A and B are shown apart, each in its own frame.
Chain A
Amino acid sequence: MALLGFKPEMFCRYFISNCYILEVSRKKGLMMSERDYRLVLGSVILAGLYFTLAELIYAVVLVLLMEGVFNFRLVSLLPYLMQQGRGMADWSGTEVRYEFSAERAWRILFALGLFLSFEFYTTYWAISWFLGFAVFGAGASGVCPMLMLFKWAGFR
């Protein structure tokens, strides 16, 4: 670690700077990006699973479905949404074959997956947790493999 120039305080600053709340504070306002949105979404899902808050999970599913179906974004109510701050990694250079937003497709598929796995939680509890961790990880890392997969498939 010493060879790599590891300094604990630097790592901490790096980690903290990636935290949503501090990030929001840093930006002096509610500037939520898709990445931040995923971080929040993942946190909410994990909280719902941990505390067994079925209503919260269903609410998340409902919001995501609405966003996916009606192309409505909850986060777009906030200023500078989807255009400022940290964006999600893109799969650039892919030809657009479907005039359907990859974000919408991701939301619909994610909502369905979360709903089904939660409905059959006893059997597919692992999927619910996986989805929670995955969306949180996407928000934390800025890389959403599923979104990239949609983009690679030709979604806008």
Chain B
Amino acid sequence: MPSSNALSSLSVKITGIVFWGLVIVGLLVSFVILERYEYELEQVYAQSEAQFSEEIQATLNQEPGLDPERLKQRLLGLTKLLKIPAAKLSFEQHEVVVGAIDPRLVPHFQTLHIIGADGKLSNVMVAVYQVDIEPVVDQYRKTFLMSMGALLFLFGYLLKWVLERVLTQPFLQMVDTAQQFSADQQVRFNEKRSDEFGDLARFINQSLDHLLTQQGELKASLQRQHLSEQALLEEKERIKVTLQSIAEGVITTDQSMCVSYLNPIAERLLGIGLSECKGRLITDVVQLVNERDGLPVENPVVRCLHSGHVEKLPSDSVLLRSDGVRVAIEDSAAPMRDDAGAIVGAVMAFQDVGNARELAQKLSFQACHDSLTGLFNRHEFEKRLQSAISDVQDKAVEHALCYLDLDQFKIVNDTCGHGAGDDLLRALSDILQAKIRDGDMLARLGGDEFGVLLLNCNLEDAERIANTLRMTVSEFRFVWQDKIFEIGVSIGLVGVNQYSKDLTDVLSAADVACYSAKDAGRNRIHVYQQGDLELQKRRGEMQWVNRLQKAVDDNAFCLHYQTIEPLQTSAPSGAHIEVLLRMVGSEGVFILPGAFLPSAERYDLIRSVDQWVVQHLFERFGRLMREKYDANPECHDTYGINLSGKSIDNLEFRQFLVDSIERFNIPASTLCFEITETSAITNLAGARHFIEELKALGCEFALDDFGSGMSSFSYLKNLDVDYLKIDGSYVRDINDDPVDRALVNSVNQIGHVMGMKTIAEYAEDDACLSILKAIGVDYAQGYCLSTPQPIDQFFTSSVTS
């Protein structure tokens, strides 16, 4: 349907042009026709009047003196002929009237000059009565105009209808179709028409199909592009969020190294915002210097843009911020390329590694330094020593190694606690460090062991320096609370020269030299010499290590026992034996513990040996021990088991012992652990704890070889032991040596005073036994009483009895 807009445009134009043109032209034509009609009507009137007058004049001229009646007849015929409604003729005394003179008729007068019969000229007045022309014209005009109007309107409508049907309507339909097309693109123009509109519709429809096809393709393309843009936006957002979230600072630059982006971490590390540095050269924004010398470091972005590869910053570089703050960073820069591979910029990623670098430095320091004293540790010392050994093989130089072992350090540690020992070590470290030369190396090698590597130093100078160190330590007085300790140091000195084989050899030689110094009376220097007997002895010990380990693995040990006999009648009647260890040699020969125990002690195998003894004894004889105990609990046997100082100081061994007693159901009161005086004093705190824990189970303890060390009787107060085994070296010569006798007597008295029972070892004859009895020693052990026998015999005989 035509729209209102179309009505006001195309239809209006057609109507305006066709309809109104027709109406106006028709009316104008009508007006002209009417004017012509009126003119012609007036002409007809005038002609009839003129003809009437002429006829009257001719008649009167031809027939002068005509009879009025005849004249009237003639006038009547004339009015009929000329369609004159009425006429009146007046002449002389006559008046002739023809027709009915109606007042609505309009008279037209005319005077005629007639020559009468008498030859005289007379006037004749002629009046012609005509119908009024105005009403006639008016009526004709109305009729004509209304008819014409109706005709023109009708024709105009017809024309308008035709034009609308053939032109406006199809055109407006096309317009309407075009308007519908915007809402529904499936709408098509009417192609059924066979005229130009049909052709146009077909052309437009084809164009629309083509356009829609192209539009579909374009839409698909736009959709793809939209998706691509969406993906790009998402990717951009993801990258942006990632860059803002990561812990690394990121800076991007263009090809000319001008900064284009900073992430928040980069802003924080640089101390400036993106707005301040955007567009500036990265070398102005990121200033890198060497951490140690402060010299500028080339920015990796510059290098990567030049090389086209990923470039890293040297590991010791720091970022110099504009406010002067230095930030340790790790940095790498990579070029950014376009699709063609051309470099379009660079991205630099860096992170604050201040903490990590500080930690690494700390770890590095800790890896080569002793945490207590701050001196180099054993690892670093051996590394430097190895380097020095390698050095002397190539160059004609000589170095020296001092191996320092503090004397009496254990006493400080055990009597005043580890805090005091630590303070002592720190104080001595400072003192020793001050006494060595620049370039020399002082390190803490163990608990109270120090090493000094004297570089480019011959043996004489080294001995002089070592002596200085010894004297310094000797003169040092360590004060702890109300106690003053005098410390000594034993120093083993060995030259590092072209004869030095390797690190182990040099360290072993220094160690041996140090032990030699200790053995020689402590607080002295022993200079190692090639072919030293002590070294050979130590090496012999080292050979025992393999045999010992093999023996432990192969159970190449056996147990013997020796009885401990009571000397006083008041002693309980149960058997008292000491369990003894023997190694079974290659040909079945028993090897006494004196041969292998020093090696076991020195090379840390003694715990395995002790463990073997306990395990073996309990496994094989645990049941018998329990049965014997259960048979007579009041008068039970006592089994003396030797333990080393290292074992009693070891928590794992202690736990093993407790677990074994429980597991094998051993009556604890039958066990008497023998600890040497030296090991007990060396590990006083450990020994005390061990004794307390085992005594809580019911075990007894004996202090073995008492008197050999003669450290101090005061230690006895700290050790809750049940037996004092007087060292055999005093007992052996008691018959001849009054001093030994006095000593045994003293020890016996002290033991008794402290509630302990005494046992004299090495009682080898009856005279000795008599003296011991006289002194009041409670028990004796020795060859005059019994010799060591395989322990199986003890349990076999017990079962038999």
Given A5-B165, A125-B141, A145-B20, A140 contacting B146 (CB threshold 8 A):
no
Q: Say if the beta carbon of B166 comes within 8 Å of chain A.
A: yes
Chain A interface residue number, banded = 20 to 34
Contact B142 A49 (CB under 8 A): yes
Q: Name the one of A4, A134, A142 contacting B166, with C-beta atoms under 8 angstroms.
A: A4
What is the 8 Å Cβ interface bit string for chain A, positions 144-156, against chain B (1 contact, 0 not)? 0100100000000
Q: Say if the beta carbon of B15 comes within 8 Å of chain A.
A: yes
Contact A4 B165 (CB under 8 A): yes
Q: Name the one of A4, A11, A87, A130 contacting B27, with C-beta atoms under 8 angstroms.
A: A130
Shortest distance from the beta carbon of B153 to any chain A beta carbon, whole Å: 6
Q: Name the one of B4, B7, B158 contacting A11, with C-beta atoms under 8 angstroms.
A: B158
Q: Say if the beta carbon of A90 comes within 8 Å of chain B.
A: yes
Given A137-B19, A145-B16, A14 contacting B161 (CB threshold 8 A):
yes
Q: Name the one of B27, B138, B142, B157 contacting A133, with C-beta atoms under 8 angstroms.
A: B27
What is the 8 Å Cβ interface bit string for chain B, positions 149-172, against chain A (1 contact, 0 not)? 100011011101110011000000
Q: How far is the CA of A136 from the CA of B11 in the complex (A)?
A: 18
Contacting B at CB under 8 A, from A117-134, are: 125-126, 129-130, 133-134
Q: Say if the beta carbon of B546 comes within 8 Å of chain A.
A: no
Q: How far is the CA of A126 from the CA of B148 in the complex (A)?
A: 13
What is the 8 Å Cβ interface bit string for chain A, positions 2-36, against chain B (1 contact, 0 not)? 00111000010011001000000000000000000
Q: Name the one of B27, B141, B149, B160 contacting A141, with C-beta atoms under 8 angstroms.
A: B160
Q: Name the one of A11, A92, A136 contacting B8, with C-beta atoms under 8 angstroms.
A: A92
Contacting A at CB under 8 A, from B149-201, are: 149, 153-154, 156-158, 160-162, 165-166
Q: Name the one of B5, B12, B141 contacting A143, with C-beta atoms under 8 angstroms.
A: B12
Contact A6 B162 (CB under 8 A): yes
Shortest distance from the beta carbon of B35 to any chain A beta carbon, whole Å: 9
Q: How far is the CA of A142 from the CA of B153 in the complex (A)?
A: 13
Contacts of B759 in A (CB 8 A): none
Q: Say if the beta carbon of B272 comes within 8 Å of chain A.
A: no
Contact A141 B8 (CB under 8 A): no
Q: How far is the CA of A90 from the CA of B31 in the complex (A)?
A: 30
Q: How far is the CA of A90 from the CA of B7 in the complex (A)?
A: 9
Q: Name the one of B8, B20, B141, B161 contacting A90, with C-beta atoms under 8 angstroms.
A: B8
Question: In the complex, which residue of chain B has the Cβ closest to the Cβ of A49?
Answer: B142
Q: How far is the CA of A11 from the CA of B154 in the complex (A)?
A: 10
Contacts of A130 in B (CB 8 A): 27
Q: Say if the beta carbon of A82 comes within 8 Å of chain B.
A: no
Shortest distance from the beta carbon of A55 to any chain B beta carbon, whole Å: 18
Q: Say if the beta carbon of A74 comes within 8 Å of chain B.
A: no
Contacting A at CB under 8 A, from B10-34, are: 11-12, 15-16, 19-20, 23, 27, 31
Q: Say if the beta carbon of A89 comes within 8 Å of chain B.
A: yes
Q: Say if the beta carbon of B145 comes within 8 Å of chain A.
A: yes
Q: How many residues of B contact A (CB 8 A)?
A: 29
Q: How far is the CA of A92 from the CA of B10 in the complex (A)?
A: 13
Contact A143 B15 (CB under 8 A): yes
Shortest distance from the beta carbon of A84 to any chain B beta carbon, whole Å: 13
Question: In the complex, which residue of chain B has the Cβ closest to the Cβ of A142?
Answer: B15
Given A46-B146, A89-B8, A143 contacting B161 (CB threshold 8 A):
no
Q: Name the one of A18, A52, A136 contacting B157, with C-beta atoms under 8 angstroms.
A: A18
Q: Name the one of B12, B142, B153, B165 contacting A137, with C-beta atoms under 8 angstroms.
A: B153
Contacts of B160 in A (CB 8 A): 141
Given A49-B142, A92-B8, A140 contacting B20 (CB threshold 8 A):
no
Q: Name the one of B12, B23, B158, B162 contacting A89, with C-beta atoms under 8 angstroms.
A: B12
What is the 8 Å Cβ interface bit string for chain B, positions 101-144, against chain A (1 contact, 0 not)? 00000000000000000000000000000000000001001100
Q: How far is the CA of A136 from the CA of B27 in the complex (A)?
A: 13
Given A129-B145, A137-B153, A11 contacting B161 (CB threshold 8 A):
yes
Q: Name the one of A15, A18, A133, A148 contacting B23, with C-beta atoms under 8 angstroms.
A: A133
Shortest distance from the beta carbon of B154 to any chain A beta carbon, whole Å: 8
Contact B19 A143 (CB under 8 A): yes
Contacts of B161 in A (CB 8 A): 11, 14-15
Question: In the complex, which residue of chain B has the Cβ closest to the Cβ of A11?
Answer: B161
Contact B149 A46 (CB under 8 A): yes
Most B CB within 10 A of own CB, among A49, A140, A148: A140
Question: In the complex, which residue of chain A has the Cβ closest to the Cβ of B18?
Answer: A141
Contacts of B158 in A (CB 8 A): 11
Q: How far is the CA of A90 from the CA of B138 in the complex (A)?
A: 37
Shortest distance from the beta carbon of B273 to any chain A beta carbon, whole Å: 55
Contact B142 A50 (CB under 8 A): yes
A–B complex contacts, Cβ < 8 Å, 18 sampled: A5-B166, A11-B157, A11-B158, A11-B161, A15-B161, A18-B157, A50-B146, A90-B8, A92-B8, A126-B27, A129-B27, A136-B153, A137-B23, A137-B153, A140-B153, A142-B12, A143-B19, A148-B16
Interface residues of B (CB under 8 A from A): 4-5, 7-8, 11-12, 15-16, 19-20, 23, 27, 31, 138, 141-142, 145-146, 149, 153-154, 156-158, 160-162, 165-166
